Structure 1
């Protein structure tokens, strides 16, 4: 069995970085190093006092140390890592762009009064969960040893559990909306004959290459040589995707 350090070092870069920042943000809060209001998404402070860091920092706070915090962190460690090591293997720029697009979508949605939220970290985690559920739709998931269901239904099951336990469904729902929008524009729409209108920008590829983040990407020739093994049916996943 690998040690915790070996497990941590084996994690892919984007999921590891995001999970680490979320953990550090909560740890610093528990030690009283800052107040959450200093990093919250407050639109008046952003637009009238130019505190633009709030557009980013709000994504790193998942709440104080609690069972819910642990569940969200485990969701990053499981579903984010499986995405980055699976469909996004050697496609670090595409995975990073998915996170950026999701964050931008959530920022727009949060500007709608009924969806207003000061922290969008939980929503971003739920976006990862939703995309994972579409990539691995037929995986069998056991919830608390009580219910077994296909991964396709997991985001909705987790939303229902949050409602049952008294949490607001809004953050979960926003994450599902952002995840579905990304999946529709990059997968479902192109599969129906349309174009991928949000393909990964060149500058994201340049950032990943400049900082040597992740493994080197698969070339177009290598991608075209891979056989497509996706299953058929209503809840079909994909064996690979060319995000260009």
Structure 2
């Protein structure tokens, strides 16, 4: 029964979130079992363009380090904010979501060539967090029960936490910068006078990820749901819940 329940929950995950997080977990397990070496995965322009090891363009986003606290921390944030974006502002627009990931990944690879970055999974996660945070500016967050702040500050809080763990600040800064570029091109510039939408989803992506017809009466979960973790969760309850609790107490 537990196996069936896990399988059902797994298959209910949005397509892109399920594919990306599964690839990350499988890659980490293969490295942990010494089936694959991290030296076969990291971003290396010379090996890519001279020796045609093209898989490195993808695997640099899939490896977050050996299984441990840092890996689990990054995977939780990757899963949560990738899913909240796909089920929230990108709901019914899977092709647009894939375009965002392709655009962000391409920008990060360009940055990696000049900044000598080897693995970009953490930067990719920060980009997802940044886009979600900018699209949910009024959500109150709570980080480990210590800090209360609004969602747009979450990427910077994660950057500070990453520094405390001894990680490179450059990786997080690249993720924040790429996330901001995407947010500006997609949400800010088109809304300005004379602005246009520059990032147009190619038709082949639309045909490939065409969403199935859905029940119009279906009420999707709000994008800013906290998810039940102590870090990065919403700190305020909904007003209806507060009124209901006050009525029960009276």
TM-score past 0.5 threshold: yes
The CA distance in 2 between the partners of 1:215 and 1:91, in whole Å, is: 11
Q: Which residue of the partner structure matches residue 138 of structure 1? A: 138
Secondary structure of the corresponding residue to residue 142 of structure 2: strand
In the alignment, is the contact (CA less than 8 A) between 1:186 and 1:199 conserved in 2? Answer: no
Q: 2:206 aligned with 1:205, yes or no?
A: yes
SS in 2 for 1:60: coil
8 Å Cα contact 1:90/1:216 also seen in 2 = no
What do residues 183-206 of structure 1 show as CA deviations (whole Å, max 9, x unaligned)? 101110011131111121122112
Structure 1: distance between partners of 2:133 and 2:212? 24
Distance in 2 (CA, whole Å) between partners of 1:76 and 1:216 is 27
Distance in 2 of aligned mates of 1:38 and 1:4? 32
**Equivalences for 1:110-149 in 2 at 5 Å?**
110-112=112-114, 115-149=115-149
Deviations 1:68-117 (A, max 9, x none): 111111112211111110111111101111111110010111111xx221
Q: Determine the C-alpha separation between the residues in 2 that align with 1:27 and 1:121.
A: 15
Partners in 2 of 1:90 and 1:153 — Cα distance?
Answer: 28
- Please give the alpha-carbon distance, in whole angstroms, between the structure 1 residues aligned to 2:178 and 2:63: 18
Residue 59 of structure 1 corresponds to 61
Structure 1 residue 158 corresponds to structure 2 residue 155: no
Per-residue deviation, 1:11:
1.2
Q: Matched residue of 1:166: which SS?
A: coil
Helix, strand or coil: the match of 2:148?
A: strand
- Divergent runs of 4+, >6 A: none
Larger Rg: 2
What is the distance in 2 between the residues matched to 1:50 and 1:9? 34
**Conservation of the 8 A alpha-carbon contact between 1:92 and 1:215:** no
Please state whether the residue corresponding to 1:148 is helix, strand or coil. Answer: strand
Matched, 1:177 2:169: no
1:159–1:169 Cα contact (<8 Å) kept: yes
TM-score normalised over the length of structure 2: 0.80
RMSD: 1.9
- CA deviation profile, 1:146-198 (whole Å, cap 9, x unmatched): 11111110000100111122111111111111111111011100111311111
Given that 1:94 and 1:200 are in contact with CA atoms closer than 8 Å, whether structure 2 keeps it comes out as yes
1:85 aligns with 2:82: no
Match of 2:17 in 1: 15
Q: Give the drift of 1:6.
A: 3.1
The 2-side partners of 1:150 and 1:215 are apart by: 35
Deviations 1:207-231, CA, capped at 9 Å, x for gaps: 223xxxx5459xxxxxxxxxxxxxx
Q: Is the 8 A contact 1:59 1:120 kept in 2?
A: yes
